[in-house]
């Protein structure tokens, strides 16, 4: 099977008529600027979409030509809280992008240039485990409510100067560093992730050997997490091929999103491993292929690079996420500096698209895990590209998603 083929489109989850339509379009119009995936995006974006809790998602995806197996996976009620934050077309494309990343990673095996067994063996080599000092940015939200941070990194209110200017004049943020090890794995995992296990003959829950230049030894660092399909996360790990690999910036979330006000593109991470696990399980559930592992990308960032982060909380946070989750919403003047922040830290809002559209400021409440309010770290792609050389990245493989556990 070739990576760009009719068979690949059916592997994505398209039925035969839809796959044939996309393939015919690609064969007729593709050239140096119109790619295989461009044709997929164009086709889905031209279909009727839906987003409401009471809308007929199954009908909409069926009209897109999506197979029942993938439709059922996306509509699993266990993940309604995440699903309803975006549209049917969004999740179809997100799942396809996961699959395309997996096939791209496997393309040497597809073409017969390397055996699958040797490829898996190389890809799952564990990361080094030498000891290093490790600290985290202190918790910035109380358990009871979204209040003042206990130890601010950087804060902003309407009367202060533009936070986006805080890093001006400081020069480049990256420099060559010595290698440092991965931090210890978190002690707690969710029940579903614990139950997951890879197929016979593969290595379970080992960090993939995907590291960039690491923080200086003994330097304070912060570990951030992002859950998803291992192959897609692996492709996001920065490497020396900066022209062909956008690195972490390839994980950009398009607006609307919590901090996407003003059509701002951001890359979201969390310090709470349980939030990352939730998204890893959701990606694993949507994987209709039987050999795609879920995983968690872990990024160790020197804490000094987060010193100019802007925290947003209280009513400012509520007003800003209302703007972010509503398409084409005007941003109040006093909130505009938040849009310019290179790194914005604040709570997560899990409202559905319908709820966000009709919500008032009183309806906006932070997402809680075990009584705590986890924060999301929303980077601009530009900042991630600039600091990548000083970060250390690796993917921890969690194996296959297993239903009912």
Residues ≥6 apart with Cβ < 8 Å to 405: 191, 192, 195, 196
**Structure confidence at residue 232 as a pLDDT band (50, 70, 90):** very high
For the residues 17-25, what does the mean pLDDT come to? Answer: 97
CA-CA distance, 87 to 78, in Å (whole number)? 17
3-state class (DSSP) for residue 224: strand
| pTM recorded for the entire structure | 0.74
Predicted confidence at residue 109, as pLDDT, reads: 53
CA-CA distance, 290 to 400, in Å (whole number)? 8
Closest CA to 364 of 353, 355, 373, 375: 355
Contact (Cβ atoms closer than 8 angstroms) between residue 52 and residue 357: no
Q: Is the pLDDT of residue 192 over 70?
A: no
The DSSP code sequence of 65-134 is: TB-HHHHHHHT-GGGHHHHTTS-HHHHHHHHHHHHHHHHHHTHHHHTTSS-HHHHHHHHTPPPP------
Of the candidate ranges 68-82, 105-119, 250-264, the one whose mean pLDDT is the lowest: 105-119
Q: Is the pLDDT of residue 368 over 90?
A: yes
Predicted confidence at residue 261, as pLDDT, reads: 92
Predicted confidence at residue 218, as pLDDT, reads: 81
Sheet strand arrangement including 294-302: 310-311, 343-347, 375-379, 267-270, 221-229, 294-302, 392-399
Count CB atoms within 10 A of the CB of residue 3: 14
Name the residue with higher pLDDT: 402 or 48: 48
CA-CA distance, 74 to 85, in Å (whole number)? 13
Distance of CA 90 to the CA centre of its chain: 13
For the residues 308-319, what does the mean pLDDT come to? Answer: 97
**If you compute the radius of gyration of the chain from its CA atoms, what whole number of angstroms results?**
21
For the residues 265-277, what does the mean pLDDT come to? Answer: 97
- The residue to which tokens 């940015």 are assigned: 137
For the residues 96-122, what does the mean pLDDT come to? Answer: 63
> pLDDT digit string (tens) for 44-78?
999 999 999 999 999 999 999 999 999 999 999 99
Structure tokens at 231: 């192959």
Of the candidate ranges 81-95, 165-179, 330-344, the one whose mean pLDDT is the lowest: 165-179
Q: How far apart are the first and last CA of the chain?
A: 34
Contact (Cβ atoms closer than 8 angstroms) between residue 367 and residue 278: no
Name the residue with higher pLDDT: 262 or 156: 262
Q: Is the pLDDT of residue 116 over 60?
A: no
Closest CA to 364 of 322, 330, 331, 323: 322
> pLDDT digit string (tens) for 172-183?
454 333 333 444
Predicted confidence at residue 160, as pLDDT, reads: 36
Give start and end residues of each alpha helix (H) in 253-370.
273-285, 314-325, 336-340, 353-358
């Amino acid at each position: 099977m070739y990576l760009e083929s009719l068979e690949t489109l059916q592997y994505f989850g398209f039925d035969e008529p839809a796959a044939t339509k996309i393939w015919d379009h690609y064969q007729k119009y593709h050239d140096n600027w119109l790619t295989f995936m461009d044709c997929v995006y164009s086709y889905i974006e031209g279909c009727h979409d839906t987003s409401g809790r009471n809308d007929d998602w199954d009908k909409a995806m069926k009209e897109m030509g999506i197979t029942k197996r993938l439709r059922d996976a996306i509509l699993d009620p266990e993940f309604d809280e995440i699903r309803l934050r975006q549209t049917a077309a969004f999740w179809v494309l997100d799942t396809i992008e996961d699959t395309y990343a997996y096939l791209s990673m496997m393309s040497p095996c597809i073409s017969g240039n390397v055996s699958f067994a040797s490829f898996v063996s190389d890809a799952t080599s564990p990361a080094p485990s030498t000891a290093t000092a490790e600290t985290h940015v202190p918790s910035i939200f109380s358990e009871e409510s979204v209040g003042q941070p206990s130890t601010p990194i950087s804060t902003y209110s309407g009367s202060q100067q533009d936070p986006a200017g805080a890093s001006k004049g400081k020069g480049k943020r990256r420099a060559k560093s010595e290698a440092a090890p991965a931090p210890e794995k978190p002690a707690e995992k969710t029940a579903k992730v614990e139950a997951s296990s890879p197929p016979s003959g593969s290595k379970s829950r080992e960090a993939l050997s995907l590291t960039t230049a690491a923080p200086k030894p003994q330097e304070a660092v912060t570990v951030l997490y992002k859950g998803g399909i291992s192959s897609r996360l692996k492709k996001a790990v920065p490497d020396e091929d900066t022209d062909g690999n956008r690195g972490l910036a390839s994980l950009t979330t398009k607006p609307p999103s919590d901090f996407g006000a003003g059509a701002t593109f951001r890359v979201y991470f969390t310090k709470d491993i349980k939030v990352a696990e939730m998204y890893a399980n959701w990606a694993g559930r949507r994987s209709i292929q039987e050999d795609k592992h879920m995983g968690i990308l872990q990024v160790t960032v020197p804490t000094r690079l987060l010193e100019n982060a802007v925290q947003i909380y209280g009513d400012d946070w509520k007003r800003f996420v209302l703007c972010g989750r509503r398409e084409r919403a005007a941003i109040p003047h006093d909130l505009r500096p938040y849009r310019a922040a290179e790194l914005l830290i604040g709570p997560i809002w899990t409202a559905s698209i319908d709820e966000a559209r009709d919500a008032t400021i009183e309806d906006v409440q932070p997402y809680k895990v075990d009584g705590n309010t986890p924060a999301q770290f929303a980077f601009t792609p530009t900042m991630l590209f600039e600091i990548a050389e000083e970060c250390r990245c690796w993917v921890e493989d969690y194996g296959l998603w297993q239903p009912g556990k």
